[in-house]
Amino acid sequence: MRLTVEHGFDRVTIDAIAQAANISRRTFSNYFACKEDAVLHGEQLHHQGLLRALRERPDAESAWTALRSSVRGLYSSWDTQPDREWALRTRLAREHPSLMAQQLANHAAFARDLERAVAGRHNPGGVRSGLLVDVFLSALRVGLNTWIDEEETRDLLEVVEEIMDEVETPFGG
């Protein structure tokens, strides 16, 4: 991430990343298929944490409650606000098509994993699991982007909870 900030994503090479990490290019390739994977690795760790938290929720919870509780539990378990690298990764993805493409592919895989994890739970209003997960992930994305656009001045969980509350409010009016 440091190299990306210093030199720009397009000018950073896998060799430079490997050298900065004091590993061989071959070792880099054992862990990452491309530099996009390396830059987005932290986000993938967040996804894994959320999925793990969801799987640990009581089976009796509705899908929406389990999803919200998983985020609440995960975010509140962090000692500090998410690191600046998380915000930086999101900003970079907005600007670089190859990063955006990889991030979208990662998000699609994450959505499938979440959908499998909520399968069999009660969905309020009979909403399909896929739709519920997509709405949930959209709310998370809006919350994260709002937090980033506000220069991380408020607590991330507070922003995400605010967005989730809005999602739960009927659209009619």
Asked if 16 and 45 sit in the same domain, the reply is no
Q: Is residue 173 part of a domain?
A: no
- Residue 21 is given by DSSP the state T
Report how far apart, in Å, the C-alpha atoms of 3 and of each of 6, 13, 25, 39, 88 are.
5, 9, 16, 10, 12
Same domain, residue pair 26 and 104: no
What would you report as the CA-atom Rg of the chain, rounded to the nearest whole angstrom? Answer: 18
Specify whether 72 is located in the same domain as 120: yes
Collapsing DSSP to helix, strand or coil, 117 comes out as: helix
In which domain, by residue range, is 26 found?
A: 1-35
Instruction: Please state, in angstroms and rounded to a whole number, the distance separating the CA atoms of residues 106 and 103.
Output: 5
pTM of the full predicted structure?
Answer: 0.82
CA separation for the pair 77, 41 (Å, rounded): 20
Is 28 part of a structural domain of the chain?
yes
In a domain, 78, yes or no: yes
Amino acid (1-letter code) at residue 44: Q
Q: Do residue 115 and residue 157 come from a single domain?
A: yes
Per residue of the chain (173 residues), give pLDDT as tens: 778 777 878 888 999 999 998 999 999 999 999 988 988 888 898 899 999 999 999 999 999 999 999 999 888 877 655 556 666 666 776 788 888 889 889 999 999 999 999 988 988 777 888 999 999 999 998 998 898 888 778 888 899 999 999 998 765 54
